[in-house]
Amino acid sequence: MNLAVIGATGLVGEEILKVLQEKKIKINELTLVASNKSIGKTVEFCNNNYKIISIEDALEKKLDVAIFSAGKDLSLKWAEKFANNEVTVIDNSSAWRMDKTKKLIVPEVNGNELTIDDKIIANPNCSTIQMLIALAPIHIKYGITRIIVSTYQSITGTGRIAVNQLNNEYNNIEGEMAYKYPIHQNAIPHCDEFEDNGYTKEEMKLINETHKILDPNISVTATAVRVPVIGGHSESINLTLEKSFQIDDIKKLLSESNGIKLEDDTKNFKYPMPIYAKGKDDVFVGRIRKDFSCENSLNLWVVSDNLRKGAATNAIQILELIKSKGFIG
- Is 319 within 8 Å of 90 (Cβ atoms)? yes
Let me know if 211 is a catalytic residue: no
For residue 47, report the phi and psi dihedrals to the nearest 5 degrees. 65, 15
In this structure, the chain runs to a length of 329
Three-class SS state of 260:
strand
Contacts of 34 (CB under 8 A, 6+ apart): 7, 8, 9, 10, 13, 41, 52, 70
| Neighbour-count burial of 256, counting CB atoms closer than 10 A to its CB (0-12 exposed, 13-18 middle, 19+ buried) | exposed
Instruction: Give the span between the Cα atoms of 158 and 143, in whole angstroms.
Output: 33
For residue 56, report the phi and psi dihedrals to the nearest 5 degrees. -60, -45
Set 139, 184, 233, 294: catalytic member: 233
What's the angle, vertex CA 110, arms to CA 107 and CA 115, rounded to 5? 90
Instruction: Give the span between the Cα atoms of 254 and 248, in whole angstroms.
Output: 10
- Is 326 within 8 Å of 312 (Cβ atoms)? no
Let me know if 184 is a catalytic residue: no
Set 126, 139, 190, 211: catalytic member: 126
Active-site amino acid positions: 126, 233
